[in-house]
Structure 1
Amino acid sequence: MKKISQHLSDSSIKEEKNMDIIKGGVTAAKGFEAAAAAAGIKYKDRTDMALVYSQAPCEAAGTFTQNVVKAAPVKWDQKVVKSGSKVQAVIVNSGIANACTGAEGYGYCEDTAVAAAEALGISGDGVVIGSTGVIGKQIPIEKLTAGIKVLAEKKNDSLENGTQAARAIMTTDTFEKELAVTLKVGGKTVTIGGMAKGSGMIHPNMCTMLAFITTDADITKEALQKALSGDVDDTYNMISVDGDTSTNDTVLLLANGLAGNPQIRYGSEDYKAFAEALHVVNEYLAKKIAGDGEGATALFEVKAVGCESTEQARLLAKSIVCSNLTKTAIAGHDANWGRILCAMGYSGAQFDPEKVDLFFESRAGKIQIIENGTAVDYSEAEATKILSEPEVTATADVKLGSSSATAWGCDLTHGYIEINADYRS
Structure 2
Amino acid sequence: METTLAVAVFIVSYVFIMSEKINRALVALAGGVLMLLSGIYSWEEAFTSFIDWSTITLLFSMMVLVSITKKTGLFEYIAILLAQRVKGAPIPLLIVTGVLTAIGSALLDNVTTVLLFVPILLTLTSKLNLPVFPYLLTVILCANIGGTATLIGDPPNIMIGQAVDHFTFMSFLVHLGPVVLIIFTATLFGLVLLFRKTLVKGEGDHVRTLMELDPSSYLKKTPMLYQSVTVLSMTILGFLLHAFVHVDLTTVAVCGAILLLLLTEKESNTEKVFEEVEWVTLFFFMGLFMLVGGLEQVGVIDELARGMIWLTEGDLPSTALMILWISGLFSGIVDNIPFVAAMIPVIKEFQSYGMTNLDPLWWSLALGACLGGNGTLIGASANVVVAGLASSARHPIGFLKFMLYGMPVVLFSLAVCTIYVWFRYLVPFMQAGM
Q: TM-score range by the shorter chain?
A: under 0.3
With a CA cutoff of 8 Å and minimum separation of 6, indicate the structure with the bigger relative contact order.
2
| Bigger helix fraction | 2
With structure 1 as the length reference, what TM-score do the two structures score?
0.26
